Structure 1
Amino acid sequence: MRQSFPAKSAFNPDRDIPDLTGQVIIVTGANVGIGYETAKQLLKHNAKVYVGARSEEKATKAIASLKEQTGKEAVFLRLDLADLPSIKSAVEEFTQKETQLHVLFNNGGVMVPPLEQLTSQGYDLQFGTNVLGHFYFTKLLLPTLISTAAASPSKTARVINTGSFASYLRTSVDFNTVKESPARKRLGVQKLYAQSKFGNAIFSTELQRRYGDQGIVSIALNPGNIQSDLQRHLGSFAKTLMDKTILYPTPYGALTQLWAGTTDAGLSLGGKFVVPWARLGPTPAGSDDQAHAKAVWTWLEEQVANV
């Protein structure tokens, strides 16, 4: 209940985010919702922000709106997390423009889409986008993140992985359900969503385990129950009920990941799970299971080996 109805945040982004001049940051899914609010605060504090998004039209409108609100202009990065070659192209585009990446916000995602929807390579859309897509994006950006960490005063670079309260609702990944199969259909979209959010958590802890000694600070989080575009696949009755009972305005959703991604406190949170609003929370059961984390990582590596 504390995560669904948290106490007032002690973290105030206007007051507590430091000057980010010189920092290069990517926010996936930054054209809408929590990602948009995250990008807005980063721009207000002078970061150079790349908006990772599939639709150039929507991203262009978001960038124009961000400039109107902040006076700063974000940069569009064409990125379709549901298509592995698109991810590779996005990283190639980014690394042609930048030699540093201080923070990667793996924020974008999809929730409970129609069951028949799959990624371009035939993966469950939720796991393929939320987990596999962000894994591959992060993997390709790791050399830049590691070299940035080595050159930075803090000797760190951060990867902030947006999970959910649903991260607590599964304790393992069933590899029989991540592509089209009878087992996937039996699991259903709600449990597939929870599995993908658990996947965010276990990926985050394994990333920290593997690369923490090279300066990577990997943090997973529950942003809270937030009004956003993420609920677009819910029925109108369910969405209206949630809006009136448990959902907070969209800017609240950026609080916890901004705290993790920009403050000195966040530097000590590698491998942890943080919760609303901007505080350390319990680690989802199973996400620190090293044997299973290794199996998940190995599976993810195998899926992108020949892209």
Structure 2
Amino acid sequence: MGVAHSIYTQSFPPKTKFKVEDIPDLTGKVVIVTGANTGVGKETAKALLAHNATVYVAARSKEKADQAIQDLKKQTGKEGIFLKLDLGDLKSIKAAAEEFLSKEKELHILFNNAGVMMPPLEQTTAQGYDLQFGTNVLGHFYLTQLLLPALLAAAKTSPDGTARVVNTSAAAVYFTSKVDFNTLKDTRVRRKKGVSNLYAQSKLGNILVANELTRRYGDQGIVASSVNPGNLRSDLQRHLPRAVQKIMYSFLHPLPMGALTQLYAGTTSQGAELGGKFLIPWARVGKVPKGADDPKLAGELWKWMEEQVANV
């Protein structure tokens, strides 16, 4: 009943008390949104630009990012900045971080928003990791690690003494409680696990990393939280069969709603108190899913990821 109740209440949440209009003025704040060329990321960037933040639109495709930047300028009158980033390639992540750090000394908010959901099983990252875990978790971990100097610098100068990191998870996290390290690269065990279980595992990883980041850097002003943005109509479902998409769309929420919870965590004064918290639709603190509150597992995952990126 616990899992079913959690999924139901997050699938059909109460009316939101937080609105985009409640975001404070963000003049002087530098923000990166991964996957900001589409979906929830684009909606997040739109709200940030409308409130005067400097927004880096991090995406793989310059063509798609440029189109998104044009769209956002028409809607907000403000222009985002393209940052080339392929989360499925550790070398691309390193280049993106170097590019950003050559332009900015401080990073006030990092939205680790981009992700893939249930792609074909044969797809892997450039370095041979499971595409979902490699993109959703390892890629964002490495990006965050490389940007830590800018995040720590921003925390020192921010009025509230914080810099925010917001990891996008999902309700799928309730379908697993552990990380099987034997499935993180393309092995026979991974292929038996299947794409839905691999997706759930990656969403667990998003929470574990946020919680461990808080444990390690919370006393230096890094406020890391994780969010379930809600069940939304977006292109995240593009890999699902069309018949399944049609059924799902009947009970999915409008895309703009998905930006609310992470915007609440990243921009508001209340967000400064959300380190290590798991937020649920819409802009509410929820109970951390089973396994996601395990510091031993989080520590093991952190160590494993440090080893993977050590020689990029």
Same fold (TM over 0.5): yes
User: Does residue 229 of structure 1 match 2:202?
Assistant: no
Kept in 2: contact 1:28–1:107 (CA 8 A): yes
Written as runs of structure 1 = structure 2, the 5 A alignment for 1:43-62 is 43-62=49-68
Kept in 2: contact 1:223–1:256 (CA 8 A): yes
User: Does residue 112 of structure 1 match 2:108?
Assistant: no
1:94-139 Cα distance to aligned partner (Å, 9 max, x none): 0111111000000000000000000000000000000000000000
Classify the secondary structure of the residue corresponding to 1:190.
Answer: helix
Counterpart amino acid of residue 272 in structure 1? K
Residue in 1 aligned with 2:212? 206
Classify the secondary structure of the residue corresponding to 1:114.
Answer: coil
Residue in 2 aligned with 1:165? 171
Residue in 2 aligned with 1:2? 9
Written as runs of structure 1 = structure 2, the 5 A alignment for 1:147-186 is 147-186=153-192
Counterpart amino acid of residue 122 in structure 1? G
Classify the secondary structure of the residue corresponding to 2:44.
Answer: helix
Classify the secondary structure of the residue corresponding to 2:11.
Answer: coil
Classify the secondary structure of the residue corresponding to 1:105.
Answer: strand
CA displacement at 1:153 relative to structure 2: 1.1
Name the % identity: 63
- In the aligned structure 2, how far is the partner of 1:39 from the partner of 1:143? 23
User: Does residue 250 of structure 1 match 2:234?
Assistant: no
Runs of 4+ in 1 over 2 A off after TM superposition: none
Kept in 2: contact 1:20–1:47 (CA 8 A): yes
Counterpart amino acid of residue 21 in structure 1? T
CA displacement at 1:210 relative to structure 2: 0.5
User: Does residue 17 of structure 1 match 2:37?
Assistant: no
Instruction: Please point out which of 269, 272, 276 is paired with 2:274.
Output: 269
TM-score (norm 1): 0.99
Instruction: Please point out which of 123, 136, 140 is paired with 2:146.
Output: 140
Q: Unaligned stretches of 5+ in structure 2? A: 1-7
Written as runs of structure 1 = structure 2, the 5 A alignment for 1:119-138 is 119-138=125-144
Classify the secondary structure of the residue corresponding to 1:101.
Answer: coil
TM-score (norm 2): 0.97
Residue in 1 aligned with 2:33? 27
- In the aligned structure 2, how far is the partner of 1:153 from the partner of 1:180? 45
